[in-house]
Amino acid sequence: MHRFRMFRRGNGWFYSEDVVTRQQVSLHTKDRKEAQVLLSVKNEAYRAPMLNLKLAKAYLQGTHSDHICRTWGDALDRLIEEMEEGATRQKWIRVRDSQPFSRLQWTVLFYTEDIHFWRVLNHPHATASTYRWLRYLRNYAMDKGWLLHRVFSKKAWPKVKPRPKRAITSEQHRRIMEAEPDLERRQYYQMLWFSGGAQTDVAHFHSDCLDKATLTIFFQRKKMRTRDRGHCRIPIGEEIQALLDQLPAEGWFFPEVRSESSTQRAAKFKRLCSKLGIMDVTLHSYRYALAERALWSGMPEREAMSYLGHKNKNRHHGYAKNAPTVTLPLSYYEKKKAKDLEAFQE
């Protein structure tokens, strides 16, 4: 008995129907002989799946022998080798050495099934980041031509709810500043609040970053891979200038903070927040705070994006989405317009 049967619709196209599930799929042809060949192949594939696998393996051995022995660990190593030195490469090294991905290291790409991916996603130490890294790795293998099938369709990927991210409030920042005993770390938190920079970027602020001609702090974001991207200019206002007067005139502004890893800085900040009862706040929350303060105060979007080093408007909107938008009364604009007209007439 055949699993699939063929029929023709009124538009002239031939279709196959699964006699068990009743699922109908187009054969993408109007030629009967070609449709019969395709239908025969589908029935043969159902009757002898293991034979097809052996045939595919034999064909690949004759063309690309690496296809039948390349593991996901090899794919991870190649992915890391192609990356430049930086924070992203270090993240992938940690991904490769993590416990969830240890279950996938020795799996051959040719024999990968959905159960192998589920073992990674269902690992006790798996997080929302594990889902993103796995999906990126799968797409990388497919782009290289190493993975012959998608394993998971687009709709089959599990729905992951990331941890909510929010901005730190001015009151919470004030409490943190009062509770932090170390002077350098207080100055570091102040710079995060005024500049909205990433924790690693601010920790690496140097006296060479000061551009006195334009009165800005000019630096390149550490997370960017190439030198022609990620340049930021933060204007030096009164608050930042007052803070710069307290910092070293030469060398690194925060030498002790710079000597720590991003994990150590985040852990110390989290311990302090837990002691104060402040939840769901990280060092990255300072970037959300600046985006929301900029939107609330009416700063032009282009200038706010320059502060944060954002090149994409959608990403910037994600940072400022929780900001309260306050509309000024009409009388404010009327008075402003009247003043402008008086100044113009004079």
335 is a domain residue: no
Average pLDDT, stretch 254-274?
92
CATH of the domain at 106: 1.10.150
Q: Which residues of 73-108 are buried (b: 16+ CB within 10 A; e: fewer)?
A: ebbbeebbeeeeeeeeeeebeebbebebbebbeebe
Q: Write out pLDDT tens, residues 119-136.
A: 898 888 888 888 889 999
Regarding whether 118 and 39 lie in a shared domain, the answer is no
Instruction: Return the ∠ at Cα 72 (arms to 67 and 75), rounded to 5°.
Output: 75
Specify whether 10 is located in the same domain as 91.
Answer: no
Instruction: Please check whether residue 345 lies inside any domain of the structure.
Output: no
Domain presence at residue 59:
no
Q: What is the pTM of this model?
A: 0.62
The angle subtended at Cα 246 by Cα 245 and Cα 252, nearest 5°, is 95
Type of residue found at 262 = S
Distance CA 40, CA 157 (A): 31
Which amino acid would we find at residue 80? I
Each residue's pLDDT tens digit, 143-158 = 887 877 778 777 778 8
Are residues 187 and 293 part of one domain?
yes
d(Cα 68, Cα 110) in Å, to the nearest integer? 6
41 and 183: one domain?
no
304, 177: one domain: yes
Whether 314 is in a domain gets the answer yes
Question: In this structure, are 245 and 132 located in the same domain?
Answer: no
CATH number of the domain to which 287 belongs: 1.10.443.10
pLDDT tens digit string along 13-31? 999 998 877 888 899 999 9
Is the confidence at residue 265, as pLDDT, over 90? yes
Q: Is residue 28 part of a domain?
A: yes
The answer as to whether 339 is a domain residue is no
* 75 and 140 fall within a common domain: yes
Are residue 41 and residue 85 in the same domain, yes or no? no
Residue 68 burial by Cβ neighbours in a 10 Å radius (0-12, 13-18, 19+): middle
Q: What average pLDDT score do residues 33-46 get?
A: 86
Residues 202 and 283 in one domain: yes
Same domain? For 175 and 139 the reply is: no
Q: How many domains does the chain have?
A: 3
- Beta carbons within 10 angstroms of residue 311's beta carbon: 11
**Chain-wide mean pLDDT for the chain?**
84
For residue 289, give every residue at least 6 positions away whose Cβ sits within 8 Å of its Cβ, in sequence order, or none: 167, 168, 169, 173, 193, 196
CB atoms under 10 Å from CB of 327, counted, come to 6
Q: Are residues 177 and 246 in the same domain?
A: yes
**pLDDT tens per residue across span 195-234:** 888 898 899 999 888 888 888 888 877 776 544 456 778 8
Residue 137 included in any domain = yes
Is 198 part of any domain? yes
Specify whether 137 is located in the same domain as 179. no
Structural domain of 283:
170-320
* DSSP for 182-196, written as a single string: -HHHHHHHHHHHHH-
Chain-centre distance for alpha carbon 332: 41
Cα–Cα distance between 34 and 26 in angstroms, integer?
13
List of residues 6+ apart from 278 with CB closer than 8 A: 172, 175, 176
Q: What confidence tier does 342 reach under pLDDT thresholds 50, 70, 90?
A: confident
Distance CA 289, CA 168 (A): 6
Looking at residue 46, its pLDDT comes to 75
